[in-house]
Structure 1
Amino acid sequence: VALTPRVGGLFGSLLIGFLIARHGSAVAYLAVAVGYLASAAAMFPARANGRSSAADAGSVRADVFDFLTTIRRDRVLLQLMSLTALAEVLGFSHQALLPSLARDVLRVGPGGLGVMTAARQVGGLAGIALTSRLGAARSFGPLFLGALIAFGASLVALGFAPSFAVVLLILVGANALGAATDVLAQTLIQLAVPSGLRGRAGGAWVVSIGMAPLGQFQIGALASLFGVSAALGVNGLALMAVGAAAALLVPRLRKL
């Protein structure tokens, strides 16, 4: 499931960049709308299999209460949720600056932005592929913290990249690390709770990644005040500090 959006994004980025450069934004938006309509039409023949899954007899209110009780008793889950949210706010928010980076810093235009976005998708695919090869590794916690710190370092490097080619390479690496932190965060959140609460833990991960708009607002404000490079550098350093602090102050994460 995590792979398919990135595969679509890879080819879609190149296509939309080409359409904007050649025919303008209106044609690009029309192409996006046609794609959504085609996706919706493809779902019309789908039918439910008629089998109902075994549902938990408890109420939604009881489920929420149980999950909050779990967070209160096991603080590592709350810490993982917080780290995931901070990765979204400080790390993945760099995507909001790519248009400005392409137009104002690199001056490569819509076609260049499409290539940059495609490089981001390539990195995401690489990160998921590499993470999937970990199998039943017994050190997900240190891997997560290491990827988080490296993700921050890659954003600092992105802010000071000297050329378009270097930016593309860094985008591949940064988004490979971002995808790895994403997958590892989901894995650790699932491992941190009893099996009966794993569905709710998945919901906790969704809540955490829902903090992304805050990061887009924050990095946009920084860029408007101090420039794109400074905004990327500040967020990257902050993410590195978060990862290092978690490694030092939350020893249980290193044991997961």
Structure 2
Amino acid sequence: MSKTDPYQALRHKEFNIFLLARFALVFGWSMQFVVIEWQVYAMTNDELSLGIIGLCEFVPAFLLAPFAGHIVDKKEKRNLFVLCIALFSLISFGLYWLTSETIELQWKTNRILYCIYGLIFFGGVLRAFFGPTIFSLIALIVPKKAYPNAATWSSSTWKGASVFGALCGGFLIAWIGAHHTLGIIFALVMLALFLVFFISKKPILNKRIGESVGDSLKAGLRFVFNDKVILGALTLDMIAVLFGGAVAIFAVFAKDVLDAGPKGFGLLNAALSTGSIVAMLATTYLPITKSTGKKLLISVFGFGLFMIVFGASKLLWLSVLALFFSGVFDGISMVVRQTILQIKTPDEMRGRVGAVNSMFVGSSNELGALESGIAAKIFGAPLAVMLGGTVTLIVVGVIGIKNTALRELDLTKDVKEHQASPSE
């Protein structure tokens, strides 16, 4: 098999099944995000309500992540993934029910809103487990030599699902309404649940007997915080999402700034993800392992720069273009970060490292939604995005100067060692 084979990971049947299940799940998840953001803003006409959505998901996802990582390392990964999806289906069905005509006629708006927030909080609990479970499961499905390629395809699938999910979410709201769109989402989650059963159970690699929860958590945190490369990569991505991202207030831009309606809302969400998946697919043919650290720094810088352009734009076509190029740089940084984590993380610690990754990056999506909502309330949406992009550029500059290990990182040797290892 060629060392540069762009389809290396796809030659493993279970990985293809995993990608299909992940696509269905994220496609539904992405549509659900779009629908709920639009529905809540339509109910309240308040930017802060969008931030509350992020807070409801951030708190449990962040606080439970370390414990989730410990549990993931101790449990069988396939069945844990099944359980997460099954519980997520309850959330999807609950949102479908809350947006029904019967509930809207019989319940007060605040009661519906609080129930939506409650389901989102429950989703945050599941998010704490989803990240480390998926991160660990990938490493058990493909051999080590396929880790970089698998990380690229997994990230591309995630972004591809986000593209179509965000786009379809916006259009489906306009065509069939939020309630029926949420019904489609529930069906997609059930499809993902069905597909995962075609993946066999996996061995538990962390078999340390008598290790306390406290010692386990400390070991995972110590590993991440002692590795300047991993810590720097996670910090960069966290800051970019926390301050540079604006997904949570796209509804404000579509409705009040660009006057684009729900279809424009879908386009804004899709533009960012489209750029990401284009970049990710390109990396399957053009590996970015040489001068990895510099490429990561440049990509996060580019993301922040084009978010500033988006915040300043008053034209729909320019906003879509700026988000597309932000997505391109975001896609490159995501592939680099996932490759670093897959290659440098010991098998027995994948759950805990994946959990820390979720705390840094996954939870920053929700905290970023809160930050965006508050900043938009105080400064207005355009200025809030431009300020966030500026903070991102400053942080990239500081980390680039201070973190020599990350700046000089080159994964060429590490990837060659994995490519040369025998097949598993």
TM-score scaled by structure 2? 0.54
RMSD: 2.6
| Structure 1 residue 207 displacement after superposition | 2.0
| Structure 1 residue 205 displacement after superposition | 1.6
**Pair 185,60 (structure 1): closer, same or farther in 2 beyond 3 Å:** farther
CA distance in 1: counterparts of 2:271 and 2:258, whole angstroms: 15
CA distance in 1: counterparts of 2:402 and 2:257, whole angstroms: 38
Contact persistence 2:206–2:348 (CA under 8 A) = no
AA matched with 1:2 = S
CA distance in 2: counterparts of 1:188 and 1:49, whole angstroms: 25
CA distance in 1: counterparts of 2:388 and 2:370, whole angstroms: 12
Alignment pair present for 1:109 and 2:251? no
Counterpart among 168, 193, 197 of residue 47 in structure 1: 197
- Consecutive unaligned residues in structure 1, runs of 5 or more: none
Contact persistence 2:257–2:314 (CA under 8 A) = no
Moved over 6 A (4+): none
| Structure 1 residue 36 displacement after superposition | 2.0
CA distance in 1: counterparts of 2:195 and 2:173, whole angstroms: 33
Alignment pair present for 1:129 and 2:129? no
**Pair 101,55 (structure 1): closer, same or farther in 2 beyond 3 Å:** same
AA matched with 1:171 = L
Counterpart among 33, 52, 70 of residue 183 in structure 2: 33
Deviates more, 1:62-71 or 1:246-255: 62-71
CA distance in 1: counterparts of 2:256 and 2:216, whole angstroms: 49
**Pair 248,35 (structure 1): closer, same or farther in 2 beyond 3 Å:** same
Counterpart among 380, 399, 406 of residue 227 in structure 1: 380
Deviates more, 1:181-190 or 1:216-225: 181-190
Residue in structure 2 matched with residue 64 of structure 1 by the alignment: 217
CA distance in 2: counterparts of 1:16 and 1:78, whole angstroms: 35
- Consecutive unaligned residues in structure 2, runs of 5 or more: 1-153, 410-424
Residue in structure 1 matched with residue 336 of structure 2 by the alignment: 184
Contact persistence 1:140–1:188 (CA under 8 A) = no
| Structure 1 residue 227 displacement after superposition | 1.3
Contact persistence 2:167–2:270 (CA under 8 A) = yes
Contact persistence 1:87–1:239 (CA under 8 A) = yes
**Pair 111,233 (structure 1): closer, same or farther in 2 beyond 3 Å:** same
Same amino acid, percent of matched pairs:
25
Alignment pair present for 1:204 and 2:356? yes
Counterpart among 285, 306, 327 of residue 175 in structure 1: 327
Deviates more, 1:28-37 or 1:220-229: 28-37
**Pair 189,10 (structure 1): closer, same or farther in 2 beyond 3 Å:** closer
Contact persistence 2:237–2:300 (CA under 8 A) = no
| Structure 1 residue 73 displacement after superposition | 3.8
Deviates more, 1:38-47 or 1:82-91: 38-47
Counterpart among 119, 128, 138 of residue 271 in structure 2: 119
Contact persistence 2:205–2:348 (CA under 8 A) = no
| Structure 1 residue 69 displacement after superposition | 3.3
Residue in structure 2 matched with residue 249 of structure 1 by the alignment: 402
Number of equivalent positions: 252
Counterpart among 347, 358, 368 of residue 215 in structure 1: 368
Residue in structure 1 matched with residue 65 of structure 2 by the alignment: none
| Structure 1 residue 255 displacement after superposition | 1.4
Deviates more, 1:133-142 or 1:174-183: 133-142
Listed one character per residue, the Cα deviations across residues 181-219 of structure 1 (whole Å, up to 9, x for unaligned) are 222222234455556645543332222112222211112
Listed one character per residue, the Cα deviations across residues 57-111 of structure 1 (whole Å, up to 9, x for unaligned) are 214635433323334543443333322321221233x111211111111101111
Secondary structure in 2 matching 1:135: coil
Counterpart among 295, 303, 311 of residue 159 in structure 1: 311
Counterpart among 69, 92, 99 of residue 251 in structure 2: 99
AA matched with 1:250 = N
Contact persistence 1:80–1:189 (CA under 8 A) = no
